[in-house]
Amino acid sequence: MDGHKLGYKGNDVLQELEILTMNAKAAQERILRKILEKNHATEYLNKFMNGSADISAFKSQVPVVTYDVVQPYIARIAAGEQSSILCGEQIVELLRRYIRDLGEGKGMYLLFVKAETLTNAGIPVRSVLTSYYKSPHFLHRKHDLYNRYTSPDEVILCPDIPQSMYCQILCGLVERQHVVRLGAVFASAFLRSISFLQKHWRDLVNDIRIGQLNSNITNSTCRVAIQSFLALPNPEIADEIEAICSSGSWKGILGRLWPNVKYIEAVLTGTMAQYIPMLEFYSDGRIPLVCTMYASSESYFGVNLRPLCNPKDVSYTILPNMAYFEFIPLEDGLKLTEDNEVVEKDKLVSLVDVKVGCYYELVVTTFAGLYRYRVGDVLQVTGFYNRAPQFKFICRRNVVLSIDSDKTNEEDLHNSVTRAKKILESRNQHLLLEYTSCTDTSTVPGHYVLFWEIKSTHEHEGATPLDARLLESCCAAVEESLDYVYRRCRAHDRTVGPLEIRLVEAGAFDALMDLLVSHGSSINQYKTPRCIESGPALKLLNSKVVASFSSPRDPEWTV
Ligand code: AMP
């Protein structure tokens, strides 16, 4: 391991990691054999393997699939059929931590549950973390020095996010001298909490001063759970926090509010990298940003064995006992395979055979009913830890916009814009000529932005006045057509702000093309990019904005 390592705790876990990574190939074979033993009789696998549990039958017969293929099985299970048509067992979690002198302190980890629904057959549909926080695994965790959080479990489980956030921050403030770690699962949630603090610190200070929770917190479980934190009036802590929060800039505020903090932990790779500058602002670049894990609803994937490295250099070591991993090599660097393109089975590369420097798309086979399933993540091999490869997270295939757990691909974006375009063009006064998009994280929460160039169809009669209501309904129409997770983030979790349409002046998209061609795009093959991340192209479009409109209402989010 590397020189950054400050200390060593949880030696058993690390020893296990050594053994696992040294024997990655055997671990992978073992896990595939177990998955097949448990699942070969499922309707899904039986269709391809005729009841065999043989690894070679799996390798030669089972196709590589995307969600579309699995979805009908999930729909059947949701409607009440036996889950054994697809799957066997639950996936286990593996957690680890290391940094010196954390033992005495607590972590202010801002953790939230998301809304959940039930299928017609009564099966809960919820995010993996919500399921984890509600599980005995979390609620009855054996308390040790490394999982002492300032937030009481009852508050984490409060479904009302603002009330939960208020109470979690309050606990963290009361315990500010004991807090040695700050964090959330994703950087977006952490920043949202800091912005919430910026808005509500006066109320928080007041509650701490008088030792009483204000009446806006109505959730009775939260009120009870918070009692011990506010047992007595605490004017000294209130004065300290007030002095810090009211003294000008919030640059570096985290180190002032939590003077003993040793690091901030959150996912900071992939789309979360967009939040690094804001975290550096609030920490004044003085608190290490730590990104430890790479995981998903499908499976846990890997851990970062150099937690103190720069977030831009994070690589994850895939844990070979979490699932059976295979990889689609991406030829020509990053040329991605389309969703509907058949991936030849003999093209798949196994975990231990990937090559340093090459790009791959991740394919998993899990205990829980996914067989050769394309997760959608593109990874690059950076090296090996023992025999287990390490990967840099490059991007999510096809995702163009993401603020929180929402992931919008180009097709979804196009379909929603097409729906809004119908509204825009319904009065025969305007045409949508071109569009592109970006995320704007200068607002908290961040939001989607569409750049639209529209043309009046009545130019000879003078410019048609812009109808703000019409454009606002276009914003709403785009949001209504985006997927369930987007709408839930927007309307329930409030992790995404109202979508904005920025109208750009005539010729703006021609100027964009000129710019991109001057930077090397081929003019013959030029296609307007449907998302622009940053840099001169974004600057150019923003300089041509003539008006902007935002969604006036929340989209419907129930399924
Ligand atoms: P979900 O299934 O909604 O939990 O999302 C899982 C997806 O989030 C993964 O497939 C990745 O695309 C992304 N993700 C999770 N962890 C990380 C990470 N450490 N870095 C970058 N992206 C991540």
Q: What is the pLDDT along the chain (559 residues), one digit of tens a residue?
A: 333 333 344 677 888 899 999 999 999 999 999 999 999 999 999 999 999 999 999 999 999 999 889 989 988 887 888 888 888 653 332 224 445 666 678 999 999 988 888 888 788 888 888 888 999 989 998 877 778 899 999 999 999 989 999 999 999 999 999 999 999 999 988 998 998 999 999 999 999 999 999 999 999 999 999 999 999 999 999 999 999 999 989 999 999 999 999 999 999 998 888 889 899 999 999 999 999 999 998 899 999 999 999 999 999 999 999 999 999 999 755 455 566 678 999 999 999 999 999 999 999 999 889 999 999 899 999 999 999 999 999 988 878 899 999 999 888 999 999 999 999 999 878 889 999 999 999 999 999 999 999 988 765 555 566 789 999 999 999 999 999 999 999 999 899 999 999 999 999 998 998 898 888 776 667 778 899 987 899 999 999 999 999 999 999 987 5
For ligand 1, the distance from its centroid to the CA atom of residue 162, given in whole angstroms, is 24
Task: Give 460: exposed, middle or buried? Use CB within 10 Å, 0-12, 13-18, 19+.
Answer: exposed
Cα separation, 152 vs 346, in Å, equals 50
For ligand 1, the distance from its centroid to the CA atom of residue 433, given in whole angstroms, is 34
State which ligand 1 atom lies nearest to the alpha carbon of 267: 19
* 73-110 per-residue burial string, b: 16 or more CB within 10 A, e: under 16: bbebbbeeeebebbbbeeeeebebbbbeebeebbbbbb
| pLDDT of the residue at 477 | 97
Residues 123, 129, 133, 137, CA torsion sign: positive
Other residues' Cβ atoms within 10 Å of the Cβ of residue 333: 8
3-class DSSP state of 311:
helix
State which ligand 1 atom lies nearest to the alpha carbon of 293: 19
For ligand 1, the distance from its centroid to the CA atom of residue 301, given in whole angstroms, is 9
For ligand 1, the distance from its centroid to the CA atom of residue 292, given in whole angstroms, is 12
Residue nearest to atom 4 of ligand 1 (CA): 296
Cα separation, 63 vs 232, in Å, equals 63
State which ligand 1 atom lies nearest to the alpha carbon of 485: 3
pLDDT in tens, 97-155: 445 666 678 999 999 988 888 888 788 888 888 888 999 989 998 877 778 899 999 99
State which ligand 1 atom lies nearest to the alpha carbon of 375: 10
* 309-330 per-residue burial string, b: 16 or more CB within 10 A, e: under 16: bebeebbbbbbbbbbbbbbbeb
Residue 205 tokens, joined: 């200070």
Candidate of 393, 397, 398, 486 to mutate for ligand 1, largest count of ligand atoms within 8 Å of Cβ: 393
For ligand 1, the distance from its centroid to the CA atom of residue 397, given in whole angstroms, is 12
For ligand 1, the distance from its centroid to the CA atom of residue 398, given in whole angstroms, is 14
Q: Nearest CA to 476 among 557, 554, 558? A: 554
| Residue 559: partners with Cβ closer than 8 Å, 6 or more residues away | 117, 125, 484
Candidate of 396, 401, 489 to mutate for ligand 1, largest count of ligand atoms within 8 Å of Cβ: 396
Other residues' Cβ atoms within 10 Å of the Cβ of residue 260: 15
Q: Which residues line ligand 1 (CB under 6 A)?
A: 128, 267, 269-270, 294-297, 375, 377, 393, 396, 405
| pLDDT of the residue at 84 | 83
For ligand 1, the distance from its centroid to the CA atom of residue 295, given in whole angstroms, is 6
| pLDDT of the residue at 524 | 66
Cα separation, 71 vs 90, in Å, equals 18
Residue nearest to atom 1 of ligand 1 (CA): 296
For ligand 1, the distance from its centroid to the CA atom of residue 184, given in whole angstroms, is 14
Give the CB-side neighbour count of residue 559, counting CA atoms within 13 A: 12
Rg (CA), the chain: 25
In sequence order, the β-bridge partners of residue 71 are none
For ligand 1, the distance from its centroid to the CA atom of residue 531, given in whole angstroms, is 20
| Residue 429: partners with Cβ closer than 8 Å, 6 or more residues away | 456, 457, 458, 464
Cα separation, 485 vs 67, in Å, equals 15
Residue nearest to atom 7 of ligand 1 (CA): 296
For ligand 1, the distance from its centroid to the CA atom of residue 124, given in whole angstroms, is 21
| pLDDT of the residue at 339 | 62
| pLDDT of the residue at 98 | 47
Residue nearest to atom 9 of ligand 1 (CA): 296
For ligand 1, the distance from its centroid to the CA atom of residue 439, given in whole angstroms, is 18
pTM for this model (two decimals): 0.81
Q: What is the DSSP string of 384-409?
A: EETTEEEEEEEEETTEEE-SSS--EE
Rounded to an integer, what is the distance from CA 366 to the centroid of its chain?
21
Q: Nearest CA to 124 among 167, 159, 89, 77? A: 77
pLDDT in tens, 482-518: 999 999 999 998 999 999 999 999 999 989 988 988 8
3-class DSSP state of 300:
strand
E runs forming strands in 82-170: 106-110, 117-118, 124-125
Candidate of 190, 296, 397, 488 to mutate for ligand 1, largest count of ligand atoms within 8 Å of Cβ: 296
For ligand 1, the distance from its centroid to the CA atom of residue 231, given in whole angstroms, is 40
Candidate of 67, 125, 294 to mutate for ligand 1, largest count of ligand atoms within 8 Å of Cβ: 294
| Residue 393: partners with Cβ closer than 8 Å, 6 or more residues away | 269, 270, 294, 314, 316, 377, 379
pLDDT in tens, 340-387: 678 999 999 999 999 999 999 999 999 889 999 999 899 999 999 999
Alpha helices in 328-441 (DSSP H): 410-425
Residues 514/559, Cβ–Cβ less than 8 Å: no
